[in-house]
A and B are shown apart, each in its own frame.
Chain A
């Protein structure tokens, strides 16, 4: 479904250029839920933004649903591939009602029957029609994230890119959103790409994952392998140990991997 070959992204130019993604090759199968894991600065979000079309300054090859994508995307691409952002407080326009937020993509793509679509997608994400005319400031963090997911789903895409969708939420709300994403994936046959620093979230939602560090791919593995702790690379093992909680001796053993 998604095929990335030798993707490189750098910011700035000349001597100040910083290479954020340094030659990544990976592919995500149709219907798969794929996790992209790494610490800050690993380039995981940059990969996602390049795939989504938000970042147009990259080299390499990105193909989505069999079609090669250039830096600028056609309108039809956005019907195929949508994204959910990390911060539910920043991703909804503060002066637009839920109704307006959901109606906009429908209007852009000239789809019919806006009312029915909005009602359906609001039910789909577990918000009733009662939420339709609220402003974002009248919603909780979890409700906002549901609206953001609804906005991504209203165009009925086949690929959903998720950039840390639960890391700004409380754990009890995180559980609700993860359950929602699992249900939506099953019902709509979505392909998911989840970017996160949280291995437990990947273990819960994904089938396969890739670990990134400093712009490079460290290793790819299945979630089954992750669960068994069967990582090959020391960097992945260190991430695994760190996510198990604090331990004085473990903390001492950490080192930087370049």
Chain B
């Protein structure tokens, strides 16, 4: 585990689901390595971007099958890890934040206790210590009155606050890698920016790596360091976020062109015409 080992190595990752007519591949040979950086994975629905994120934690629902030439976290082969080892890695080493906090929080437990529990599972700390850490964490995601929010139930908090609580819960074990799957898509733009700022700070302060899965090209381009653009289960282009406007693949260019822009005069938007050749590219 030297600095030379990348945080995450993915080589020829494939996710396939059996259907009546044979195997349908949702992810078809994705390869990338991740250091302590923010990597964006962008694509439209059905591009396999979420499956890529889930397969790293081996959270692909059965009967889906994940194969890869290499899927290693800090040099450790994730595909060979025992279920017990995976549980240990999930949460403590790699955390995941999903789109809708409503479905990820336990509705009958106060949010504070859920965060404290998440801490105790991985740290064997006492109750008082866990509560103290949970309150600290709530403050870290910029919840103004942590003591009060600690005793609330999930349905009593707004969407933006729910997502901050999710992030607090995921980050309290101090993971090395965060996989965020559309973490802010359900939020208003201003709240979205604030949540992203929290993630941004946590990444830079803790040296955490992050995979940010999103459909929003602009957002990813402005938030991440590097971008993978996925189409039909493949990475069609990867570039530095700052160079997205100079993207070369016709799919990426088409997506960028089809976005309406505030400073452009109204008029028909260029429509993406899909080239079958992209499927193989």
Give the interface of A toward B (CB within 8 A): 39-40, 141, 170-172, 174-176, 178-179, 182, 197-201, 203-206, 223, 226-227, 238-240, 242-248, 250-252, 254
Contacts and interface: CB of A to CB of B under 8 A. Distances in A.
Contact of B259 (A141, A171, A199, A226): A171
B81 interface: no
Nearest to A200: B260
Nearest to B44: A170
A248 B197 CA distance: 6
Contacts of A182: 266, 268
B262 A243 contact: yes
B108 interface: no
A176 B271 contact: yes
A171 B254 CA distance: 10
A contact patch SS: helix
B219 A171 contact: no
Contact of B258 (A40, A172, A239): A172
Contacts of B188: 39-40, 197
A108 to B, nearest CB: 34
Contacts, number: 107
Contact of A238 (B190, B218, B263): B190
Contacts of A242: 189-190, 192-193
Nearest to B254: A172
Contact of B269 (A178, A239, A240, A250): A178
Nearest 5 A-B pairs (CB), nearest first? A245-B222, A204-B260, A175-B258, A39-B188, A251-B197
Given A171-B259, A172-B271, A250-B193, A245 B218 contact: yes
B269 A179 contact: yes
A251 B262 contact: no
B188 to A, nearest CB: 4
Contact of A251 (B193, B263, B267, B269): B193
A226 B264 CA distance: 11
26 contacts: A141-B45, A170-B44, A170-B215, A171-B44, A172-B44, A172-B258, A172-B272, A175-B269, A175-B271, A178-B269, A179-B268, A179-B271, A182-B266, A206-B266, A227-B262, A227-B263, A238-B190, A242-B193, A244-B222, A245-B223, A246-B197, A246-B223, A247-B222, A250-B193, A251-B197, A254-B193
B15 interface: no
A248 B200 contact: yes
A197 B189 contact: yes
B71 interface: no
Contacts of B258: 171-172, 174-175
B217 interface: yes
Given A175-B258, A243-B189, A203 B269 contact: no
B272 A175 contact: yes
Given A171-B217, A223-B266, A203 B261 contact: yes
